[in-house]
Structure 1
Amino acid sequence: MVNMDSGTIYIEKKLRGYLFGTACADALGRPVELLTLEQIKEKYGEQGILEVPSDAFWTDDTQLMLVLARGLLRGAELELPELMDNIAEELVLWLDEPDLGAGATTKGAALSLKDGIHWSNSGLDSKTCGSLMRVGILGFIFSNDPEKLIKAASLSGRITHTHPTADAASIAGAYAVKLALDGVAPKDMFLPLLQVTEGISEEFTEALKGSYELAYSNLSDEEAIPKIGQGWYADETFALAYFCILRSPDNYKKAIQTAVNITGDSDSVASVAGGILGARLGIEAVPASWIESLKEKEKLEEMVKPLLEKYFQVSGMK
């Protein structure tokens, strides 16, 4: 049982910030994921989509983050091979959940797991963002054990995506949440993120550098974002999310509005950015009206207590 002292309350606010920050950003991006920026403006006005619709649902991004979270609840304290066994089992169970738009790579890997292929051989050589979008929860649970965090992010990502670019992005996605919990400002995340992904993927390294440079350039968001990409591939997804939080490091709402109003993978870019900023700024930064608009917010709420207990269990073993 978690004793709710001031330190625990602080961590709980960060956890809620991560969970609801991810889901609300995902829900804001869902209606516009397949639209160009021009189409978004035609539908929602010159500023684009700005508010989460009522009774909004998230996509596979949040759904798969919760799958990973359930795997962690079953054994984050275990050695990594046993933890990956649990995560693989949760991915198989996920196949029976509603299809919220998961990509072919994740589905294909999960079907391979269901057919009995071991998790170490189930991944596909894909650099799409399916492994990145779910890994932020690892950055929370293992925030006090960076070595295990990095290895877990890599291994869990490779269950579905084995491409080096996806691998680097998965590590960065989880590590950025750890840095956020540590109170590191987005601009100061740059060098640590370069260091933990060094030598894995030149493509990812260049995307990360480009994101940082463009964020501090004189270009507008609309001018800079297309130079990074559309976010369908993991390096672009993370780079776009990082660009948005660099531009609005203390303003969750503005960062997410920037992230969704793009030509590209709006929900994935936003959910990655939302998780990182939510973990950094806490639940107070996420608009209450957005949280209220989530159709199944109780699914997130019921994860708070067990994840908080798992965080302290794992941290206490260090």
Structure 2
Amino acid sequence: MAAMSADPLARAAASLSGLALGDALGSQFADPDKIHYLDQRTLPPPPWRWTDDTEMACSLFRVLADHGRIDQDALAAAFAAHHDPARGYGAATGRMLGRIRAGGDWRSLAAGQFGGQGSWGNGAAMRVAPLGAWFGGDPAIAAAQARLSAEVTHTHPEAAAGAMAVAVATSIAVAGDRPSPAGFLGRILPHLPPSEVADKIVQAGRLLGDADPVRVAAVLGNGSGDRVQDTVPLTLWAAARHLDDYERAVWTTARAGGDVDTTCAIVGGIVGVRAGSLPADWSARVEPLPNWARGPVPT
């Protein structure tokens, strides 16, 4: 693995690039005509477009770059301002962001989702890896900040636990040592609240000896039901097994099927921060990140 940067902005940018690449590759397999590329483990033709996973991660990255922490009001405003419905947002999230743009209060809108229980979808987890990279080596702060970032759109406790798990995993990945797969998962769990997400990460640890992602997904889920409990554990299993191999981590995740853009975005954000550089032939196929996410930090 490459030496970790001491600059939180550089670490978060590396994670964002890995997330966007995983998202964009995974999104190709939503097209039934391109499934044969996955079966053959060959690259689909360009261009690869990223989805709402990356667009929301870009907003989170900008808030960290501008504030150094999660400012929830700024994050809600960024999500609403940059919301592009063509990126594949879920219907509930799209409606909520439209209401925020119209002047609605994100706190009441997020809390009122799904009859008042809040969303336990993947949105908070799929975008959060750059936050874990920003707070690299400090998983406790990463967990607390991830919870704040989740609350802006996803108030269900499971959604918070999923976001915390991904942020903590990325923070640990940034630390630069080489934990065993079991050790990697074991270091995540103390930072999570009691939850189904945590219970299934324990299950993921028991499945580390199984190299078949399809079999593992049959136990842990692959995001096909849009429940974070059935998404994050698989991604952490894949990241733990291939923490220093971006290509194997993403291909392994994609082969599990399901919500492939989201699972590959999560894994790409965790593993990409350790890669130093991403596969050049992959990166050449991906559309660039938006200028507002790539520009210099305002002074």
| TM norm structure 2 | 0.84
Contact map agreement 2:13 2:130 (CA 8 A) in 1: no
Aligned residue number for residue 37 of structure 2: 44
Contact map agreement 1:75 1:86 (CA 8 A) in 2: no
Give the alignment of 1:146-161 within 5 angstroms.
Answer: 146-161=139-154
Q: Give the one of 57, 60, 69 matched to 2:52.
A: 60
Aligned residue number for residue 14 of structure 2: 17
Matched letter for residue 287 of structure 2? K
Aligned residue number for residue 99 of structure 1: 86
Contact map agreement 1:14 1:282 (CA 8 A) in 2: no
After superposition, the Cα gap between the structure-2 partners of 1:250 and 1:84, relative to the gap in structure 1 and judged at 3 Å, is same
Aligned residue number for residue 187 of structure 1: 182
Give the alignment of 1:296-315 within 5 angstroms.
Answer: 296-297=288-289, 299=291, 302-303=294-295, 306=297
Q: Find out whether 1:28 has 2:31 as its counterpart.
A: no
Q: Give the one of 189, 192, 197 matched to 1:197.
A: 192
Give the alignment of 1:278-297 within 5 angstroms.
Answer: 278-283=272-277, 286-297=278-289
CA shift, 1:7, in A, is 7.5
Unaligned runs of 5+ in 2: none
| Cα shift readout 1:96-126 (whole Å, capped 9, x = no counterpart) | x352101123223323423434333231312
After superposition, the Cα gap between the structure-2 partners of 1:67 and 1:11, relative to the gap in structure 1 and judged at 3 Å, is closer
Q: Aligned equivalents of 1:120 and 1:241: distance in 2?
A: 29
Q: Find out whether 1:274 has 2:261 as its counterpart.
A: no
CA shift, 1:144, in A, is 5.7
| Cα shift readout 1:41-64 (whole Å, capped 9, x = no counterpart) | 5x33743x4325322111111111
Give the alignment of 1:134-149 within 5 angstroms.
Answer: 134-143=127-136, 146-149=139-142
Contact map agreement 2:143 2:164 (CA 8 A) in 1: yes
Q: Find out whether 1:222 has 2:214 as its counterpart.
A: yes
Q: Aligned equivalents of 2:139 and 2:39: distance in 1?
A: 43
Q: Aligned equivalents of 1:100 and 1:168: distance in 2?
A: 25
Q: Aligned equivalents of 2:91 and 2:141: distance in 1?
A: 28
Matched letter for residue 191 of structure 1? G
RMSD: 2.8
Greater than 6 Å deviation, 4+ residue runs: 9-13
| Cα shift readout 1:233-252 (whole Å, capped 9, x = no counterpart) | 11222111112122323211
CA shift, 1:128, in A, is 1.0
CA shift, 1:75, in A, is 1.7
Contact map agreement 2:21 2:286 (CA 8 A) in 1: yes
- Quick one: percent identity of the two aligned structures? 27
**Number of residue pairs aligned between Structure 1 and Structure 2:** 287
Q: Find out whether 1:87 has 2:82 as its counterpart.
A: no
Q: Aligned equivalents of 1:109 and 1:98: distance in 2?
A: 12
Contact map agreement 2:125 2:159 (CA 8 A) in 1: yes
Matched letter for residue 296 of structure 1? P
Q: Aligned equivalents of 2:107 and 2:171: distance in 1?
A: 25
| TM norm structure 1 | 0.80
